Chain A
Amino acid sequence: MAASIWERRTKRGEQVYQFNFAPVFNALDMLLVGVWFTIQMSVAAMSLGLVVSLVGAAIKTSGPRPLRLCVDIYVELIRNTPFLVQIFFIFFGLPALGIRLSPNTTALLALTINFGAYGTEIIRAGIKSISKGQIEAAQAIGLSWLQVLQYVVIKPALRAVYPALTSQFIFLMLGSSVVSAISATDLTAAANDLNSLTFASFEVYLVTTVIYLALSILFSTIFAGIGRLCFAYPVNR
């Protein structure tokens, strides 16, 4: 059907869509500012989110019962609602309580809270993957409490969940495109601005998509490299 409409249009001598990438490439610096912001925001949200997840996972595995319940509610609440709704809630809902945050702060806060919930589950799974016998064996050969934690719990646990954490970071970066909805100044917002300047919608968003793809390939390559450096020791011999 699509082709027939196209044919009819061409026959009638109507203009068929002409691709025009020139205005997009002329204003590429606008998009690059957005790229830099997206990278900064994603990395910051991941770092803060990791702290939240570590605390959350620690409470979930060995915290007191009421605290554990709080973390459970936090994790389930965040993981079962759309990210867009979470941002709207923080940005439009919190001012009613007298807390007014700028769009960029809101974006960082929302991304951190979101990553924290998923990260809590991921890290908890990693800690659970360490069998009790490992820790007892480590204590039996006389390792100190700190050594047990460092070499027998944290490092193998991190190794086990490293791929899940990196893909969660990629999801965080891709998901951060949504923060443009509250006028935070990320890559998507830059694309929206450029769109309203040039009206070359398809071209603008195509270039932006290619940039996002490049970013996610870049970051997964970097993380694969880091993983190879940090977790290169053999497990089963």
Chain B
Amino acid sequence: MIREFGTNEVIYIVLALRWTIALSLIAFAGGAVGGLAIALMRVSRLGVARLFAVGFIRVFQGTPLLMQLFIVYFGLNIIGLPTNAWLAAAVALALHAAAFLGEIWRGSIQAVPSGQGEAADALAYGYVTRMKDVILPQAARIAAAPTTGFLVQLIKSTSLASIIGFTELTRAARSSATPPSNPFW
């Protein structure tokens, strides 16, 4: 017998929203830290750092998120960590977000008029002061809109975590659609 889709099912699905939000927040936090590092490396004067950042962005923007999830999921075991859908989803989404945010913020940093950086140089500011007090605050204003846009995309992307067995909104909806009264499914 197929179970009715009633209030309990709706509550079950809505409660799973908390995992979607938690996963999105963790991915965004991890992605923000990683993305800032990638963006700074991408505009750095060091050739090696630039090359690493370009490679990182290329690989993560050029492969499906689903594959990234699979690789992290099965790769955790190889480096000796327990196979855990939560950890895998968080790590993969954070890396994915780092690549996209890195590229977005790289653009924002480069959109700050070059005179600003030159003025900071002329005032003999060091790298940290130049970035922290002159360039990044101006870049942040430019970055606000595209970052919000990506955040929406990231929240939608967390639905893929259901494929590696993480119970969030999409998975909760799927398990409501396949009732336990039929054990074959």
Within 8 A of A (CB), among B155-171: 156-160, 162-163, 170
User: CB < 8 Å: which of B152, B163, B173 contacts A80?
Assistant: B152
Say whether, besides A6-B80, A202-B78, A88 and B174 are in contact (CB < 8 Å): yes
CB of A213 within 8 A of CB of B63, answer: yes
Within 8 A of B (CB), among A76-113: 80-85, 88, 92
Within 8 A of A (CB), among B49-83: 58-59, 61-68, 70-71, 74-75, 77-81
CB of A212 within 8 A of CB of B71, answer: no
User: CB < 8 Å: which of B58, B65, B74 contacts A174?
Assistant: B65
User: CB < 8 Å: which of B61, B65, B79, B170 contacts A6?
Assistant: B79
Interface membership of B29, Cβ < 8 A: no
CB closest residue in chain A, given B156:
A82
Say whether, besides A9-B80, A82-B157, A177 and B64 are in contact (CB < 8 Å): yes
Say whether, besides A177-B67, A205-B71, A84 and B170 are in contact (CB < 8 Å): yes
Give the B-binding residues of A (Cβ under 8 A).
1-3, 5-6, 9, 17, 80-85, 88, 92, 170, 174-178, 180-181, 188, 201-202, 205-206, 208-209, 212-213, 216-217
Q: A201-B70, A212-B67 are in contact. List 14 more A-B contacts (CB 8 A).
A: A2-B81, A6-B80, A9-B80, A17-B78, A82-B157, A82-B158, A83-B156, A85-B159, A85-B173, A177-B66, A178-B163, A188-B67, A213-B62, A217-B58
Q: Which 8 A-B pairs have the closest CB atoms?
A: A82-B159, A5-B80, A177-B64, A216-B62, A82-B156, A201-B74, A205-B70, A174-B64
